[in-house]
Structure 1
């Protein structure tokens, strides 16, 4: 049976668009630092601050992080050298798998058999190697996968205990004292050593891992109390490191809106009429069992209608696990249904949908074998995500308000919302919430911005900083930065 490669074929449309961009008019304002001092900037954050793109940290991505772009623009108003712990990897190590497994960054590739355009890893990847430069001169403490707990605990860099849940090889490679130092201590030490300004963007990874596992592991969500305590401790360390330094704090974007959850659509399963009929026959007893439960008063009609399975010729929702359904496994009825418009589908679903299990033509993922919980954000999980993000962002906003003379809030959530609504452009060129070249702002992993998106983000930081302290850091031109590479 044919494998149904339905993954982001619409990207081909983007390739037909012109890759020519308009450039901005020269800045009319004379660059000025205003009431802030940008002589030495220190950044602390997670993967976006580090420059992860295409599910990897590699040379080109690291040098095009929003932090590097921001630092380059600050040079126009007295900013100094901005050193990063060079990764020294042309390809990088794939980070959206548990181990990377020798695979490198994702690139768009054309399936020669189906014509579909898929993100696929480069083989081989580059292993994560220790940073051999001067650790004391680092400015960018952006660390892939860094949570608030990881920022505060030495286990993040403990090379003697790499199995610890908080161990982070991206920090261990440049920790000042592996197993003893913490990321926030190292960043604070850099700020204390002549630092004048800092960017603090932690908190995303107290939500994102839950989303990337489809809400299957609730323990990955940080409690509100722990988030508040850890955030205050981490931020307090930075504020105390240099009581004169000012800073910009980013909040948490709406993760539900990431193209990681919109590139593969809920109806990504195409079936010819013959196969649709066969699949419907497979589920005839299941559907009849639902009707019997309604008659017995054990199931509402609304839930029955949600659970009933009906395939049609053409595009279909696929079979998924749904742990929120009433449990009737004792009656021989699994907790499954077809995906619908209210579900968020992980980008990685495109790699499994339509796969045949064990060479058995009757075992087709999404048709006779349900797609696992880890691939789908159910409506209830999306609501929980929204509640968490709103609660965490309120904690962040309160922290800024409590130190309003020294801090400015950079509303990354608002920027993401505006991109999602099509309200953002770079000098009349649209910036889209997609991985589709040339206008997509996100790299091929659907989570991290590409270089062009990072430039848009850097401008968002610049605007907030300029508005707060009357500075005139010049904006960069996002259209001079690369989007995603064209498919190979």
Structure 2
């Protein structure tokens, strides 16, 4: 009996112990600490991502959802101080002048469910391009800034905004401390104890969004790829200066921008009888038959005779067909085509056809069609868009169908390769600078790879890089959505915690929308 009582007592003790263990399954909340980082004075440097640019514009709500602003809120629990932002005056987006919206700085996009495409919201921005703010600002993200622009004296000179070519940036001109200062100088004047630096995207972005057509390096409109030596000097100057007073910080590498929705949404082969017929499949099929008989067929035969028959195939009557485009890397067969077409078309018309199709081919899966090109497909080229100086007549008046899309509409493999090589080089420079100064390094390239190859899951949601519905990017196809900025903040937090032993907390991505509505409260 005593033995049974002992066993019963032992069992009861085990049960009590198990119950106590179960009640402690919830881990104790780890207190938020800064570790070896000091967040007292946080200053953020960067471009449009740091500023909170979204949906093709900068506006107040987007700025409040910038990853930099989110970071400052998380830093507050670990000793972070006030974080000031040069807010735009409303949620319209862009700049106005004399009460009129400036076309170069339009209002923000909103999704139109009827056309299933982004449209600019109506209205006029309350932020005048000539208005200036006073005071200092922790968020020094400047849309359009390249690496070397952060060092440039006068980049915030309002007079330079209106120069030809422009020598200053209107976003920085709003809040620069003087006409002669630089972004870096204004940042250092605040004696930061901690900084974030996410810069370099614009060093290749302008080239990419212009279809690989370089023009110049002017501060606002320049779209050449920044030379490696220039980026190396600028980036190391930034990091060396920012750490010169003992500040710690976090930097980020760069994703391949050609994986952004702006470059991956429009397929290379969107042409069907329905699309060519503007939703009228019967009319579209008739157009395809006519084009094959009068344009694609003769062109295919002529190119085949010249040993270049793989450039063009007939349009499909039953499935999708690739876009017609110009490839400036191809041998120009204009003269040869003109000779072949002269007997049937006459010398003048044959020469015209040769000029149009001398470097024409159909797009391939290795080409990237820009998001903005979607609006050009099927439209009549204007004189300044055709590359010929005149508007082509019917039937050669449909971009991508009967008239080749131009260089600015598409990235071809050689241009994509240029962008990737530059990005790889920049990332090597960024990683070396972070290692040399003991900075936290954020792998945005790795995160972008996940978004574009299956997505990132959190809670009951999955974020992907799919345009409009993936949740990570806004309607311009380049800049993050509110939820995308929350994700960036979280990966910055991960890098900071890992490097400095901080215990900063993530934000709940489910509380951030994937799109802004027409009216923002």
Is this contact kept in 1: 2:297–2:314, CA < 8 A? Answer: no
Q: Equivalent residue of 1:108, what SS?
A: strand
Structure-1 residue corresponding to 2:343: none
Mapped pair 1:315 → 2:320: yes
Q: Give the counterpart of 1:470 among 501, 511, 514.
A: 501
Structure 2 Cα separation of the partners of residues 29 and 91 of structure 1: 41
Matches within 5 A, 1:351-390: 351-357=375-381, 362=395, 363-390=397-424
Structure-2 residue corresponding to 1:276: 288
Q: Normalising by the residue count of structure 2, what TM-score does the alignment of the two structures yield?
A: 0.80
Which residue is 2:106 aligned to? 103
1:132 shift after superposition? 5.1
Paired position in structure 2 for 1:213: 210
Task: Give 1:403-442 correspondences, 5 Å limit.
Answer: 403-404=437-438, 407-437=439-469, 439-442=470-473
Q: Kindly indicate whether residue 197 of structure 2 is the aligned counterpart of residue 200 of structure 1.
A: yes
Give 2:373's aligned residue. Answer: 349
User: Is contact 2:134-2:177 (8 Å) kept?
Assistant: no
- C-alpha deviation, 1:51, in angstroms: 0.4
| Structure 2 gap segments, 5+ residues each | 1-25, 217-223, 274-283, 337-353, 383-390
Per the TM alignment, residue 392 of structure 1 is displaced from its structure 2 partner at its CA by: 0.6
Q: Aligned match of 1:248 in 239, 243, 250?
A: 250
Q: CA deviation at 1:133?
A: 4.5
Tell me the TM-score normalised to structure 1 length. 0.85
Question: Aligned pairs, how many?
Answer: 439
1:19 counterpart residue number: none
Question: Looking at both structures, which has the greater relative contact order when contacts are Cα pairs under 8 Å and sequence separation is at least 6?
Answer: 1
Quote the residue 2:90 is aligned against.
Answer: 89
Pairwise mapping of residues 33-432 of structure 1 onto structure 2 (< 5 A)?
33-93=34-94, 100-101=103-104, 103-111=106-114, 116-126=115-125, 127-129=127-129, 133-136=133-136, 138-162=137-161, 163=163, 164-178=165-179, 180-190=180-190, 192=191, 195-217=192-214, 220-240=224-244, 243-271=245-273, 272-281=284-293, 282-294=295-307, 304-305=309-310, 307-313=311-317, 314-331=319-336, 332=354, 333-357=357-381, 362=395, 363-404=397-438, 407-432=439-464
Contact (CA 8 Å) 1:185, 1:237: kept in 2 or not?
no
**Coordinate RMSD, CA, aligned:** 2.3
Larger Rg: 2
Check 1:110–1:27 CA distance in 2 against 1; reply closer, same or farther (3 A cut).
farther
Structure 1 gap ranges (5+): 1-24
The 1-side partners of 2:328 and 2:460 are apart by: 45
